[in-house]
């Protein structure tokens, strides 16, 4: 009887400790500003891989598309994560913009989640702010995780007769898709609907909550870092698998060449200026720096003038969400102001 009482009391103590840990982590996740600096990266890794809703894999926000792998669903949606609660309005074309913006836009903005406005309201997207600054009809075609190749697949179906400026927001992740475009015969080749559903299901499984999910994750991470020899899988412990196919060797393509190749194979109206910039944590050494250097040496790379902006020089940590790493409303405001100022310089 004593042993049962001892075991029971210890179980209660353990549950109490785990519950306290779970509540503490929950409070920190919902109030990132109070996370100790040494813990920020661990919380960010958890949030990115096991906590945040990803727009393109949310059944309420997106669906499979045979040409683009996925599109945003038309309608009004809520898109919420730990650091923001936003309303999300998508027009009948699958763009986060109103219907009228699709008709003969003067400015078209291509990009991924930063352009789409991940984490901000419709009116706070930098494309919307840019339209208010310039008084020019501006179309936001950004969709999360689209690379330059898919962005121009979208561009090919737009009305461009009245286009004055083409703005491209680049992300270092674009390069994988851009290289695949080059290797795939200069066209975007989307994966199957089965693959999309598989990724969507894996994402849903990863972010699903279960009792003590927080504490079990962080406890395991701590033990793995403290005792790597215990948790590191040995080669001899791995199960035997079928012989894997040898990877196909392909010639190396620089990110700059891959990016320019996509532009070269796109129907951009002659003489329309292209403004390229990058935001986020990615290094400018991937595209922005070498592209700027190339333009300085040869300003006639393609039929259109290309202008590269060092947008990251205008932004700092306070303009990004701590865990999510997307731009806050004030970050979008700065991007719009820098673009507006530069377009005024071009006009003059």
Per-residue tokens: 325: 């790493």
What integer pLDDT is reported at residue 179 of this predicted model? 97
- In this predicted structure, the answer to whether residue 238 has a pLDDT above a threshold of 70 is no
What integer pLDDT is reported at residue 246 of this predicted model? 63
Neighbour tally for 108: CB within 10 Å: 27
Write down the domain spans for the chain.
1-30, 55-191+251-347
User: Can you state the angle between helices 213-226 and 2-30, rounded to 10 degrees?
Assistant: 90
Whole-structure pTM value: 0.93
More confident residue, 247 or 237: 247
- In this predicted structure, the answer to whether residue 239 has a pLDDT above a threshold of 60 is no
Q: Mind spelling out the 3-state secondary structure of the chain?
A: CHHHHHHHHHHHHHHHHHHHHHHHHHHHHHCHHHCCHHHHHHHHHHHHHHCCCCHHHCCCCEEEECCCEEEECCEEEEEEECCEEEEEEECCCCCCCCCHHHCCCCEEEECCHHHHCCCCCHHHCHHHHHHHHHCCCEEECCCCCCCHHHHHHHHCCCCCCCCCEEEEEECCCHHHHHHHHHHCCCCCCCCCHHHHHHHHHHHHHHHCCCCCHHHHHHHHHHHHHHCHHHHCCCHHHCCCCCCCCCCCCCCCCCHHHHHHHHHHCCCCCCCCCEEEEECCCCCCCCCHHHHHHHHHHCCCCCCCCEEECCHHHHCCHHHECCCCCCECHHHHHHHHHHHHHHHHHHHC
What integer pLDDT is reported at residue 3 of this predicted model? 72
| Cβ-Cβ contacts under 8 Å for 38 (sequence gap 6 or more) | none
3.10.310.30, 3.40.50.1110, 3.20.20.70, 3.40.30.10: which CATH number matches 55-191+251-347? 3.40.50.1110
User: For the chain, what percent of residues have pLDDT higher than 90?
Assistant: 82
- If you average pLDDT over every residue of the chain, what do you get? 92
pLDDT in tens, 48-72: 999 999 999 999 999 999 999 999 9
More confident residue, 29 or 238: 29
Q: What is the mean pLDDT of residues 208-228?
A: 92
Of 68-77, 112-121, 222-231, give the lowest mean pLDDT range: 222-231
- The CA radius of gyration of the chain, in Å to the nearest whole number, is 24
pLDDT in tens, 300-332: 788 899 999 999 999 999 999 999 999 999 999
Q: What is the mean pLDDT of residues 136-160?
A: 98
Per-residue tokens: 29: 């996740």
What integer pLDDT is reported at residue 241 of this predicted model? 47
- In this predicted structure, the answer to whether residue 243 has a pLDDT above a threshold of 70 is no
Assign residue 69 a region: left if phi > 0, alpha if psi is -120 to 50, beta otherwise?
A: left
What integer pLDDT is reported at residue 256 of this predicted model? 96
Of 16-20, 177-181, 206-210, give the lowest mean pLDDT range: 16-20
- How confident is residue 1, by pLDDT bands cut at 50, 70 and 90? low
What integer pLDDT is reported at residue 325 of this predicted model? 97
Phi and psi at residue 221, in whole multiples of 5°?
-60, -40
- In this predicted structure, the answer to whether residue 100 has a pLDDT above a threshold of 50 is yes
**C-alpha–C-alpha distance, residues 180 and 199, integer Å:** 19
Of 147-156, 182-191, 245-254, give the lowest mean pLDDT range: 245-254
Buried b (16+ CB within 10 A) or exposed e, 305-340: ebbbbebbeebeeebbbbbbbbbbbebbbbbbebbb
Q: What is the mean pLDDT of residues 18-22?
A: 93
């Amino acid at each position: 009887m004593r042993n049962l009482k001892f075991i029971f009391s210890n179980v209660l103590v353990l549950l109490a400790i785990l519950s306290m840990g779970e509540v503490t982590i929950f409070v920190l996740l919902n109030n990132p500003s109070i996370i100790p600096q040494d813990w920020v990266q661990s919380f960010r890794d958890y949030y990115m891989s096991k906590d945040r809703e990803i727009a393109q894999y949310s059944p309420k926000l997106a669906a499979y598309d045979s040409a683009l792998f996925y599109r945003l669903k038309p309608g009004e949606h809520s898109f919420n994560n730990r650091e923001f609660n936003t309303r999300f309005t998508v027009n009948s074309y699958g763009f986060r913009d109103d219907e009228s913006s699709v008709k003969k836009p003067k400015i078209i903005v291509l990009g991924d989640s930063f352009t789409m406005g991940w984490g901000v309201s419709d009116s706070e997207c930098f494309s919307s702010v840019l339209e208010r600054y310039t008084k020019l009809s501006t179309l936001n075609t950004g969709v999360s995780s689209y690379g330059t190749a898919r962005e121009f697949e979208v561009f090919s179906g737009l009305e461009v007769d009245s286009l004055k400026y083409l703005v491209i927001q680049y992300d270092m992740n674009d390069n994988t898709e851009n290289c695949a475009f080059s290797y795939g015969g200069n066209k975007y080749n989307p994966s199957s609907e089965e693959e999309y559903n598989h990724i969507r299901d894996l994402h849903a499984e990863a972010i699903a909550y279960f009792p003590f999910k927080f504490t079990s994750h962080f406890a395991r991470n701590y033990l793995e870092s403290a005792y790597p020899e215990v948790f590191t899988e040995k080669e001899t412990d791995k199960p035997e698998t079928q012989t894997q196919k040898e990877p196909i060797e392909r010639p190396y393509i620089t990110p700059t060449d891959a990016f320019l190749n996509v532009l070269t194979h796109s129907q951009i109206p002659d003489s329309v200026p292209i403004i390229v910039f990058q935001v986020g944590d990615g290094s400018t050494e991937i595209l922005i720096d070498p592209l700027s250097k190339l333009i300085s040496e040869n300003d006639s790379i393609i039929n259109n003038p290309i202008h590269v902006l060092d947008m990251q020089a205008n932004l700092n940590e306070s303009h990004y969400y701590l865990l999510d790493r997307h731009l806050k409303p004030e970050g979008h405001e700065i991007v719009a102001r820098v673009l507006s100022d530069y377009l005024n310089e071009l006009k003059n």
